[in-house]
Every structure is written in C-alpha cells, then in structure tokens.
Amino acid sequence: MKMEYSYRSLLAKCIIVFQMLLYAAQVKSDSPVDMQLIQVSPSAWYVQGLSELGTSANQNFISNASVVITQMGVVVIDALGSPALATKLLAKIKLLTPLPVTHVLVTHYHADHIYGLQVFKAQGARILAHRAALEYLNSETALSRLEVSRQQIAPWIDQKTQLLAADDWLDNDSEILIGGVRIQIASLVPSHTPEDLAFFLADEKVLFVGDLVFRNRIPFVGQANSRHWIAALDKLLNFDAKFVVPGHGPISTQAYEDMQQTREYLVHLRTTMGKAADNMEPFDDAYRRTDWSQYAHLPLFGVANRMNAYNTYLLLEHEAK
C-alpha cells in the first residue's frame, strides 16, 4: 500500500511540473477564440477545441464538448476548460433551441473538460460522472492544478472558478433515457483516468469518447493506466459507431482507424519503455535511442511526448514489481 501511494504521489508531482513546463513552452496566439457548433447527426452537435495548450489567449479552449438536443431539454457532454467558454457554448445552444440544459455528462475530470461545469450547474443542470472521480476531487493534485490554472489562464480561470462534484455518481455500465433519447454509458475505468466514461447515442450511432481517443495531436498520457486504456479502445469498437467524437480533434467517421492511431501510440510507449524498465536501462538512454519518427510530426509532440514516455516508464517499473 505504501509503495502504491509513493508511486501515485510521484506521478502526481510530475503532472504538476509538466503543466508548468508546457505553459512555459507554449507560444501564445493572439487570435480570438472562435467556437462553432458542428452538426454530427439529427440530435447531436459538437465544438472542436484548438490543438494547443491552454493559455490566457485561447481561454483554455483546447478540448471538445458535445450537445444532444432532446424533446425535454439539452444534454451537454463535457463542460470545456473555463466558465467563459461554457457561457459561450450556452449562448450557441440557445441559437439552436430554447430548451434548457438539463444534464451535463462528464467523460472524465481533467481540467480542460470540467472548469465550465459551474455555468451549467447555475442554470439548473444535473451533473453525471463516474464515482472514481471523487478521489481526484478530494486530492491535493486537483487543488494544485486549479491554482496553476488561476495563474496561467487568468482572467478566465480565477478565484471564482470551482471544482464541482457530480449530482449523480455512476459505478458501472448503464443506460439513461432523457427526453426520449436513449444514451448508453460505458464505464472504462481505469484508462486515460480513473473515471473514464463514454456515451453512445445508440439510435444515431454517435459515440462520445472523451480523451480515450485523440486526433490530430499527441495524446496526453499523464497517470493513465495504458494497459487498461488499450483494452478500453477495443471495447469501444464493439459499439459499431458511425461517428466518434473525441476529446480532442475533429470528429471521426473511421472509428477503427482513428482509435487504432491512439492505440498504436500507447502500444509503442509500453513496448519501448517496458523493455527499458525490464533491462533497468536509465530513462534518458532509453528515450534517446527510441524511434519516435512515426509521431514526431503531430502537434504538441515536442512538449508532451517525453513526459508521456517517462510516466509510462514509471508505470511499467511499478507493474514489474
């Protein structure tokens, strides 16, 4: 138990340092934040975040959020990375329908997906998430990350920005019916995070996968259980989705190919770093000799890949014990 605590504490500290390094490496853009609702199916839309790091210039608009309009109200999937962005999304929704937002479904509790929750909560929406997120919400890591964001993404994230718990906590696969729309919920824990959920709009074959799938950028691995993450991607393929809305990047109409891209990256990390850990090879040497050419062209490779590899190296050292 003590070893488990030390391992997770070390990884949590790495993530906070990683955030600071990423911010220092980011070149800010002066372009205004442009948010457009893109229709996916008769009931579903999404907004696509930028392939950047979160900064004051982009208001932390670096992740996707989705909207499902039912007969009784609107379901939002993920709440974006700042209250200002959530307010902007709410205004976009009102151009589509006068119906209120009744539910927010959270794929996972990473900062760029949840800092807008308070806006929807204030409008009366119920928040639904996986119960495993409670550990993160009650951790020093969550508070530290919020403090870092308040410094680096001010004024969009400030002392009024809150960490909100869900109203309804889920533990397993389930299904909900909202305004005549059936949404299947897949519990995929632990994968990218300890609390990953995916949502399937069954009648329209739209699958919302959060950060289990990244498109057009390097995935953020962080404290992920990459072995379970790979298994989660295999499970998601069983939904036979026509459209896959990822947590980052454009919508996919080729579920297998695009999930496979994330899967292959995770397998590459585990294979190369696992061999190094087994051989007790120093991380710096292992990283230097690894062929990263297949992924080096992707956005954020330069600032994310090394930390992804290091966290995987630590994970596989721990798995071997």
Q: What is 217-259 written as a DSSP string? A: S----TT--HHHHHHHHHHHGGG--SEEEEEESS-BS-HHHHH
Report strand pairing: 38-39 vs 44-47.
antiparallel
Question: Where does residue 14 rank: exposed (0-12), middle (13-18), buried (19+ CB within 10 A)?
Answer: middle
How many Å separate Cα 14 from the centre of its chain?
Answer: 18
How far is the CA of 73 from the CAs of 77, 99, 153, 180, 217, in angstroms? 13, 5, 32, 10, 33
Average pLDDT, the chain: 91
* In-domain check, residue 30: yes
CA distance 80 to 239: 25
Question: What's the confidence (pLDDT) of residue 32?
Answer: 64
Which tokens is 34 given?
């442009």
In single-letter form, the type of residue at position 177 comes to L
Identify the burial level of 41 via C-beta atoms within 10 angstroms of its C-beta, where 0-12 means exposed, 13-18 middle and 19 or more buried: middle
Using CA atoms, how far apart are residues 269 and 275, in angstroms rounded to an integer? 10
Answer yes or no: is pLDDT of 162 > 80.
yes
Residue 223 in domain: yes
Q: Which residues pair with 103 in a beta bridge?
A: 75, 126
The percent of residues above 90 in pLDDT, for the chain, comes to 86
Q: Which pLDDT band, with edges at 50, 70 and 90, does 6 fall under? A: very low
Is residue 267 assigned to a domain?
no
Give me the pLDDT at residue 27, please. Answer: 36
Q: Are 217 and 298 in contact (CB under 8 A)?
A: yes
What is residue 73's DSSP assignment? Answer: -
Does residue 291 lie in a domain region? no
pLDDT at 175: 97
Q: How many helices (H) and strands (E) does the chain have?
A: 10, 12
The pair of structure tokens assigned to 52 is 């950047």
Instruction: Report how many domains make up the chain.
Output: 1
Per-residue pLDDT of 8-60, as tens digits, reads 555 554 554 444 444 434 434 344 689 999 999 999 999 999 999 999 999 99
Q: Choose among 123, 59, 52, 55: nearest CA to 91.
A: 123
Element holding 213 (H helix, E strand): strand 206-214
Q: Which domain holds residue 185?
A: 2-253
| pLDDT recorded at residue 222 | 83
Assess if residue 74 is contained within a domain. yes
Mean pLDDT calculated for residue range 135-153: 96
- pLDDT per residue as tens digits for the range 91-100: 999 999 999 9
Of the candidates 176, 66, 187, which has an alpha carbon nearest to the alpha carbon of residue 131? 187
87 belongs to a structural domain: yes
* Residue 153, in any domain of the structure: yes
CATH number for 34: 3.60.15.10
- List the structure tokens of 116: 């807008």
Q: What pLDDT, on a 0 to 100 scale, did the predictor assign at position 101?
A: 98
- Per-residue confidence (pLDDT) for residue 156, from 0 to 100: 97
Peptide bond before 219: cis, by omega within 30 degrees of 0?
no
Identify the burial level of 98 via C-beta atoms within 10 angstroms of its C-beta, where 0-12 means exposed, 13-18 middle and 19 or more buried: exposed
Average pLDDT estimate for 256-279:
95
| pLDDT bracket for residue 318 (50, 70, 90) | confident
Instruction: Tell me phi and psi for residue 193, to 5 degrees.
Output: -135, 175
Tell me whether residue 108 is in a domain.
yes
Give tens-digit pLDDT for 216-252.
899 999 889 999 999 999 999 999 999 999 999 999 9
Evaluate if residue 276 carries a pLDDT over 50. Answer: yes
